Chains A and B, each alone.
Chain A
Amino acid sequence: MQIELVGKPAGTAARVTLAQGETLTAEVGAMIAMSSQLQVTTASKTKGGKGGVLKGIKRMFSGESFFLNSFTATAQGQEVIVAPSLIGDIVHHQLTGGTLVVQGSSWLASGVDIDIDTTFQGLVAGMFSGEGLFWVKCSGTGDLLLNSFGAIYTIDVKDGYTVDSGHIVAFEDTLEMKVGKASKSLVGSILGGEGLVCKFTGQGKLYCQTHNPPSFGQSLGQNLKPRS
């Protein structure tokens, strides 16, 4: 599988070239274009993967879709182009046996040897991290594509790191996430507009997005008409 990211960073799309027999699993609706020698199957599990209906239902709680699309090349050098619906960037992460915890709607596509499951990060983290109750857990070996609102920047966490809610894309599960206050005083944290933040400890890779969907929604939403 060869992956090329085009149109970075505002309108990034991933051009994935598959060898005969290779499969890419992608989010429903992510495909923009593809070669003709690809077989498309829609199921609630990855091709040849475990899980079924239950996994699909769990995935719906994390903000992803019940179904997944699998694109299998039936000839050499088949190409599929995938992109998220929001403007923003894509990051290509190489999983080598570890686990990456991905924020609800940031999973875009992955190879078949990556298991996609839903995980619960705890009630407090779920309710106050601003990221939703359930996260997508990707484990195994292979290529993983994640999307963001805004650009993506990588932080190698060593001595702890703080991320404002709404800015997390994904993190390695060697990191521990806790919800905390932005400043020492709770009143200050809330009044300062930063509210609660996510604090990471341990060592590992953390992907953040530069822009925050709720903040953008707030500045746009006040001018939108109510649905009639």
Chain B
Amino acid sequence: MNVEIKHRPAFATVFVTLAPGESIIAESDAMASMSSNVGMRTRFNGGFFPAILKKLFGNESLFINEFFCESGESAQVVLTQPTPGDIEQIDLAGESLFFQPGAYVASTPGVKVSMAWAGLASWFGGEGLFRLRVHGKGSVWFGGYGGVYQRPIKGEYIVDTGHLIAYDPSLTLSIGLSGGLFSSFFGGEGFISRVKGEGKVYMQSRSMDGLASWTNGHLY
């Protein structure tokens, strides 16, 4: 499998070349185009019941698609995300990573995509009751709206909820107010994610919530 992320950072898109017999798993609606020798199988996102829970509480899609090369020649699949922005690749060698809703784009078959409980606090913070967990061996592609950047954490760190897209499982996440009641709601920051422990967080430089509230303010 040969994978290239092109058109970074504004319109990052994953161009995948599959050798005969190879396949790739992708988020629902991620496929932009593909050669005619690519087959597609649709399955529940992590099994029937987890998929339904994910849909209802996690704001995740019910189904994911597997694209496979079905001829003796190599095949091409182009995968993208709904928002303009960057896409990152992470290679897992047995470890896991948590994703916030909407960040996951695609993964190789050796990576298991499952669901983990995120807690009521996360739900109140607008991030969903469940979070996506990827673990195993292989590569994962995920993206954000705007630029995607990473920061190693040791101790405590605070990220605005709409900007956090992925983090290591070694970190614990709690949702809180950015300041007192007054500054939280009038200062425009609202809920924040408090990240504790040692590991990496991935953030996006823009948020769809931010775009929506900007747009709302300019509609008349």
A and B associate: yes
B-contacting residues of A (Cβ < 8 Å)? 9-10, 87-89, 150-151, 153, 155, 159-164, 167, 182-185, 188-189, 191-194, 199, 208-212, 215-216, 218-220, 223-225, 227
Residue from B11, B28, B38, B213 within 8 A of A150 (CB atoms): B11
With beta carbons under 8 angstroms apart, the residue of B7, B42, B82 that contacts A189 is B42
Chain B residue nearest to A219 (CB atoms) is B82
Evaluate whether A192 and B82 lie within 8 angstroms (CB atoms) in the complex, with A151-B7, A164-B33 already known.
Answer: no
Majority secondary structure of chain B interface residues (helix, strand, loop or mixed)? mixed
Q: Which of A182, A208, A212 contacts B82 (CB 8 A)?
A: A212
| Beta-carbon contact of B61 and A164 below 8 Å | no
For residue B129, give the distance in angstroms from its CB to the closest CB of chain A: 18
Minimum-distance CB pairs A-B, first 10: A193-B28, A160-B36, A223-B212, A192-B42, A10-B10, A183-B40, A215-B82, A151-B7, A193-B29, A188-B42
- With known contacts A210-B32, A211-B11, A224–B212 Cβ distance under 8 A: yes
Residue contact B219 to A227, C-beta cutoff 8 Å: yes
Question: When the two chains form their complex, are residues B41 and A216 in contact, meaning their CB atoms are under 8 A apart?
Answer: no
Task: Select one of A161, A164, A185, A218 contacting B35, CB under 8 A.
Answer: A161
Contacts of B35 in A (CB 8 A): 159-162
Could you write out 7 A-B pairs with CB less than 8 Å apart? A88-B11, A150-B11, A151-B13, A153-B6, A185-B42, A199-B36, A211-B83
**B212 cross-chain contacts in A, Cβ below 8 A:** 220, 223-224
Tell whether A216 pairs with B82 under 8 Å between CB atoms, given A183-B41, A191-B42, A210-B13: yes
0/1 interface trace, chain B 176-195, chain A, CB 8 Å (1 if under): 00000000000000000000
Tell me the number of A-to-B contacts counted with CB atoms below 8 Å. Answer: 127
Most A-side CB within 10 Å, residue of B6, B29, B211, B216: B29
Chain A contacts for B61, CB-based, 8 A: 193
Distance in angstroms from A185 CB to nearest chain B CB is: 8
CB–CB A220/B40 < 8 A: no
Min Cβ gap A177→B in Å is 13
Partner of A219, one of B6, B31, B37, B83: B83
Cβ contacts B60-75/A at 8 Å (1 or 0 each): 0111110000000000
- Give chain B residues whose Cβ lies under 8 Å from the Cβ of A199: 36
B72, chain A: closest CB distance, angstroms: 12
Give chain B residues whose Cβ lies under 8 Å from the Cβ of A220.
208, 211-212, 215
Hey, which chain B residues are within 8 Å of A227, CB to CB? 219
- Asked if B102 lies at the interface with its beta carbon under 8 angstroms from chain A, I say yes
Determine if B33 and A194 form an interchain contact, defined as CB atoms under 8 angstroms apart: no
- Fill in one digit per residue for B62-102: 1 if any A CB lies within 8 Å of its CB, else 0: 11110000000000001010111000000000000000001
Q: Say how far B61's CB is from chain A's closest CB, in angstroms.
A: 6
Q: B209 within 8 Å of A by Cβ?
A: yes
Known A219-B208, A220-B208; contact A163-B33, beta-carbon cutoff 8 A: yes
